[in-house]
Structure 1
Amino acid sequence: MIPRPKLSRPLSASYELTAGAAVSGPADLIGAVRTAMPGLDLLPGDDGAIDLRLDPSLGDEAYRLTVGSRGVEIATGGRAGAFYAAQSLRQLLPDDAFRYGAATSWTVPGARIEDEPRFPWRGLHLDVARHFFPKREVMRLVDLMALHKLNRLHLHLADDQGWRVESRAYPLLHEMSSHRPRSAVHPYGQPEAFDGIPHGGYYTLDDLAEIAAYARDRAVTVVPEIDVPGHASAILAAYPSLGATGEPHDVLDRWGISPAILSPLPPTVEFLTTIFDELLGALGETPYVHIGGDEVVLDQWAASPEIDAYRESLGLATVNDLQAWFLRRLADALAERGSRAVVWDEAFVSGGLRPDTVVMPWRGQGVARRAAAAGHDVVATSVFPLYFDYAEAASPDEPLAIGETITVADVAAFDPAPDDWAPQERERVIGVQAQLWTERVPDPRTLDYRMWPRACALADIAWGAQDDFPGRLEAHLGRLDALGVEYRPPAGPHPWQRRRPHLPGVIRLDEVMDRIEAMTHDPESTRPSI
């Protein structure tokens, strides 16, 4: 199984599970099991082939699963646990059970499983700003996350290259800022080239509500990100008055960092709190909202007499202090609305965060440990090995990537909370998350190739057990085949997955890591589009 259960042992008896079998127990648990096993057409019943019960001694995501001659018994602490028990039951079935209409009955081998996750945050990040993925692809990703017991979908909804959600209060955001006339198509470090093809799209608030409801049914929480105060070209293309200079902007058509930055003045805070209200209204219960805080070029704040005077009126010494104040003000607004702010690690390095702000340290485990030691909850998001926009091999056959090489084995070997950290530091690591930035992921087939099977390894380390991962992955690929996932084969890309035309040149991973190490200790530095 992937992820591997905490405790699993075979039993001698087996059970014949048929399509249309009855499920008995509390209604919400029955709904979770039926959602997790859509091909079986399971029905509620008083005396079910699958019997569910609540056990208050278990956590919400914990479960016990027993398969014997009399049927299937599931005990759990909550709906999520019932859902995960059903996913484990599903993986006890043949691969054809992941196809619709392949069979009407399956022999389930006898088993006793006792299981619970190591981390409460088991996430995937999808950048829909650089390349937009329509609602159906997001919901398909939710299904694949649910199979692997991943439970946080981080949607990067705004960046220089596009704004991706409807705003009824500020309609120019989706009318103007959701599209660009062309996209960059050159390898990292090569002369700029463009495709000349308009690109765009956005989710209506109703779309976002539907995605969130669909995700909740599958034990997945949507974490929206509006990245501020930098990465602001798309926002300022619609509302330039929110910028530090008021000058006009275009939605960016190239990759990398832009100097575009929002003003920290009260109208910007009012604008963003209104956007938060719209997001929270659509998403419903939303415990986390990501506000970015990364790669901010503060030059325009420093050069603005109005902003400088505002900084002095707040009693702040530097523009870095002003950025920290700005992000804390947004975090306060979210807290008033029942949500916690999440930030990238530059915001932590700059200081001044609310104590309950969650930090995502993309620049490595060194800064992760510093954030944990400072008392912040941390979600491990290190470039190496959790940036899935990097190639899986240093080969000209690999599709165009930002860099090389991050393999399945690299992901499987990663420990988000190492044993050599102090206990109080390890306790602050609430999870792990892989990032898929999409500058070079233009379509769903490339998304599949980049995400899988590396996300299988992520699921394993996030859940906790890592024994015999290569062997379990080999067996698991048949399930992905049945589901139609166009993953990267272990032996390398299929002919139709190879890079075409040949485009040389990716940034070497050792060079990236050297830059990251230097940047981690410099709060004013920004990354060169890593």
Structure 2
Amino acid sequence: MIPRPELLTHLSASYELTAGATVSGDLVDAVRLALPVLDLRPGDSGEIDVRRDPALGEEAYRLTVGSRGIEIVAGGRAGAFYAAQSLHQLLPHATYRSSAQDSWLVPGVRIDDAPRFSWRGLHLDVARHFFPKREILRLVDLMAMHKLNRLHLHLVDDQGWRVESRAYPLLHEVAAHRARTAINYYREPEAYDDVPHGGYYTFDDLAEIGAYARARCVTVVPEIDVPGHASAILAAYPAFGATGERHDVLDRWGISPAILSPLPPTVEFLITIFDELMGALGETPYVHIGGDEVVLDHWAGSAEITAYRESLGLATTNDLQAWFLRRLADALAERGARAVVWDEAFVSGGLRQDTVVMPWRGMGVGRRAAAAGHDVVATPVFPLYFDYAEAASADEPMAIGDAITVEDVAAFQPAPETWTDEERARVVGAQAQLWTERVPDARTLDYRMWPRACALAEVAWSGTGQEGFAGRLEEHLGRLDAIGVEYRPLAGPHPWQRRRPHRPSGVRVADVMARIEAMTHDPESTRPSM
């Protein structure tokens, strides 16, 4: 099973479960939703009995299969949902197809299980390449199967804006598409496909995504990355920029100097966007506001912004960035949401104490954030950036560099044993990031995400990869085959998954990590050009 349960005991008896079986007790809807293949029918007494036990945590459960039937005891709806996911993994792989048979022999087991971390996330960048709603819903289903519960959507970057706005319609009319897309490898001369690219989620799409995810115990974490990465926004509304000049939606990768103004009209604009976004998604306990890779030159060069900074009693533009992000976090708190930021925002200082920090530049800066009392979601480039290739091989399709393997992910410890107990307690989970500069479509998304996300699910549920993971993963791939996931085979890509006949020497992830670790001690530095 993946993720491996905390405690699994094999029992001698088994139970024959048939399609159309009855399910009774508490939390029936969660079990039925997790097991659509069974076509479960609610009843007064059932072959599957579900009970709530307040003594268990919300996501904890106990699953028992014996000769008399199946019993699920759960702390809450999520626990019942995850128990049903574990029950599904006890059934044949064919039950992940819509053409499954009518009855199955379920082996006798008792499973006592609960997650180590509350945040078990996947990040998908839909700004660089847009993925339509159907792909988001499919990803939610795959996350639910693996007991992953946070879907972080990177909704805006220099290369595109991806949500409808009724207050500022030029965002989806202008900023949601670009004329072409860069297709060159890192360090190669620029080359473009000359194909327009775009798309955005309507309010109705967001409402559906939010409701679909909540039903499957997944929380959507939207990201509006500010004040940098602003080319797309400023293509639509240049007045909100530091210089007032119009920008183009970028067609290439890398860091842009485009930056929003920190003045009150921009803050009001962003708060309006947050209100629209949260209203469309529904319950939104977290909103990511970015704060990464900000080039502050235009702030420093603006007499108006300098005068505003001085009026606030702030000494530097770095202090002004901290103030700006704090102002947005305060507005989110007034609306019942916690701000989430990348680690540069922590290094800049001034965060609200309830702000969640994602240390992409390494666990060293994550430890500093934890020691300062912030909740931390482990997101380091190594081994949780899935835009890196899975092997240093000429067979791998285009990637930013190499290599981050399944084994690397499975060996990761989100709360390192070398940290103090207080620091470890501040780690609320782990999350893998898939940036999509070189992920143009859903087939490539599958290839990059799986099976590394299986290892992430194991780590985020258990705290680290558990015994026998490699063997369990090989078995688990049969389930992904049945679903139709075009994952990367463990032995390497299929012929049709390879990209180009040549591969220039790429960036090694170890070199990247060495350089960005040094950057975390400089609040004014941005990602190096590598």
> 1:476 maps to what in 2?
476
Deviation of residue 521 (structure 1)? 1.3
2:4 aligns with: 4
CA deviations on 1:41-78 (whole Å, 9 max, x unpaired) are: 11111111110001010011000000001110000011
| Cα distance in 1 for residues equivalent to 2:203 and 2:149 | 22
1:94 to 92, 95, 104: 92
Whether the aligned pair in 1 keeps the contact of 2:121 and 2:430 (CA below 8 Å) is yes
Name the counterpart of 1:364: 362
Q: Do the aligned residues in 2 keep the contact of 1:188 with 1:505 (CA within 8 Å)?
A: no
Aligned 8 A contact 1:161 1:180 in 2:
yes
Q: Give 1:420 deviation, angstroms.
A: 1.2
1:54-65 alignment runs, 5 A limit: 54-65=52-63
Work out whether residues 326 and 350 of structure 2, in 8 Å CA contact, stay in contact via their aligned partners in 1: yes
- For residue 116 of structure 1, report the CA deviation from its aligned partner: 0.2
Q: For the residues of structure 2 that align with 1:501 and 1:198, how far apart are their CA atoms?
A: 26
C-alpha distance in 2, partners of 1:491/1:134?
Answer: 30
2:492 match: secondary structure = coil
The letter for the 1-side match of 2:7 is L
Shift of 1:354: 0.4
Inter-partner Cα distance in structure 2 for 1:46 and 1:358 = 44
1:528 positional shift? 3.0
- Give the structure 2 partner of residue 323 of structure 1: 321
After TM superposition, the structure 1 = structure 2 runs for residues 47-196 of structure 1, keeping only pairs within 5 Å, are 47-196=45-194
Task: Name the CA distance, whole Å, in 1 between partners of 2:506 and 2:154.
Answer: 24
Q: Is the 8 A contact 1:255 1:529 kept in 2?
A: no
Letter in 1 for 2:49: D
Select between 190-199 and 221-230 the one with higher mean Cα deviation. 190-199
On the 8 A contact 2:516/2:528 being kept in 1, the answer is: no
Tell me the residue number matched to 1:302.
300
CA distance, structure 2, for counterparts of residue 322 and residue 126 of structure 1: 29
Structure 2 residue identity aligned to 1:16: E
Which runs of 5 or more residues in structure 2 are unaligned? none
Kindly state the Cα deviation for residue 388 of structure 1 after the two structures are TM-superposed.
0.2
Q: Give distance in 2, aligned partners of 1:57 and 1:114.
A: 13
Provide Cα deviations, 1:108-136, integer angstroms capped at 9, x if missing partner.
Answer: 00000000000000000000000000000
How many residues matched? 528
Question: How far off is 1:529 after superposition?
Answer: 5.8
Q: Secondary structure at the match of 1:211?
A: helix
The yes-or-no answer on 1:509 pairing with 2:509 is yes
State the SS of the aligned residue for 2:288.
strand
Displaced runs of 4 or more, over 3 A = none
1:460-504 CA-partner distances (Å, limit 9, x unpaired) = 010016121101101100000000000000000000001234342
Q: Give the AA of the match of 1:219.
A: C
CA distance in 2, matches of 1:62, 1:170: 43
Secondary structure of the equivalent of 1:492?
coil
Distance 1:409 1:507 in 2: 20
Where does residue 527 of structure 2 map in the other structure? 527
**Matched position secondary structure for 2:369:** helix
What are the superposed Cα offsets for residues 273-298 of structure 1, whole Å, 9 maximum, x if unpaired? 00000011011111100000000000
Distance, in Å, in 2 between the alignment partners of 1:126 and 1:67 is 37
Residue by residue over 1:14-65, the C-alpha shift from the partner in whole angstroms, topping out at 9 and shown as x without a partner, is: 0111111111012xx1111111111111111111111000101001100000
1:183 counterpart SS class: coil
Preserved contact between residue 255 and residue 293 of structure 2 (Cα < 8 Å) = yes
Displacement of 1:510 in angstroms is 2.5
**TM-score, length of structure 2 as denominator length:** 0.99
Q: CA deviation at 1:514?
A: 2.1
Residues 189 and 505 in structure 1, CA contact (< 8 A), matched pair in contact too: no
Deviations 1:414-455 (A, max 9, x none): 000011100000000000000000000000000000000000
Distance 1:509 1:283 in 2: 35
Rounded Cα–Cα distance in structure 2 between residues aligned with 1:498 and 1:246: 44
Residues 451 and 487 in structure 1, CA contact (< 8 A), matched pair in contact too: yes
Which residue, 256, 262, 265 being the options, matches 2:263?
A: 265
Give the 3-state SS of the residue equivalent to 2:173 in structure 1. Answer: helix
> Is the 1:189–1:507 contact (alpha carbons within 8 Å) kept by the matching residues of 2?
no
Instruction: Indicate conservation of the 8 Å contact 1:187/1:505, yes or no.
Output: no
The CA deviation string for residues 143-181 of structure 1, in whole angstroms up to 9 with x for no partner, is: 000000000000000000000000000000000000000
> What SS is found at the alignment partner of 1:47?
coil
Give, in whole Å, the separation in 1 of the partners of 2:514 and 2:185.
Answer: 20
Instruction: Report the residue type matching 1:136 in the other structure.
Output: R
2:11 alignment partner, SS class: strand
The one-letter code matched in structure 1 to 2:523 is: P
The correspondence of residues 241-390 of structure 1 with structure 2, limited to 5 A, is 241-390=239-388
Question: Could you say what secondary structure the match of 2:155 adopts?
Answer: strand
Other-structure match for 2:409: 411
Question: 1:491 and 1:481 mapped to 2: Cα distance?
Answer: 15
Identity, % of aligned positions: 80
| Correspondence for 2:444 among 443, 446, 450 | 446
Question: Is the partner of 1:153 in helix, strand or coil?
Answer: strand
Alignment-derived partner of residue 16 in structure 1: 16
1:61/1:189 CA distance change after superposition, 3 Å: same
Tell me if structure 2 keeps the 8 A contact 1:3–1:463.
yes
Q: Tell me the amino acid that sits aligned with residue 75 of structure 1.
A: V
| TM-score, structure 1 normalization | 0.99
Q: What is aligned with 1:36? A: 34
Distance 1:352 1:313 in 2: 17
CA deviation after TM superposition for structure 1 residue 12, in Å:
0.6
Structure 1: distance between partners of 2:119 and 2:92? 29
Q: Is the 8 A contact 1:243 1:260 kept in 2?
A: yes
Deviations 1:329-371 (A, max 9, x none): 0000000000000000000001000000000000001000000
2:139 aligned partner, one-letter code? L
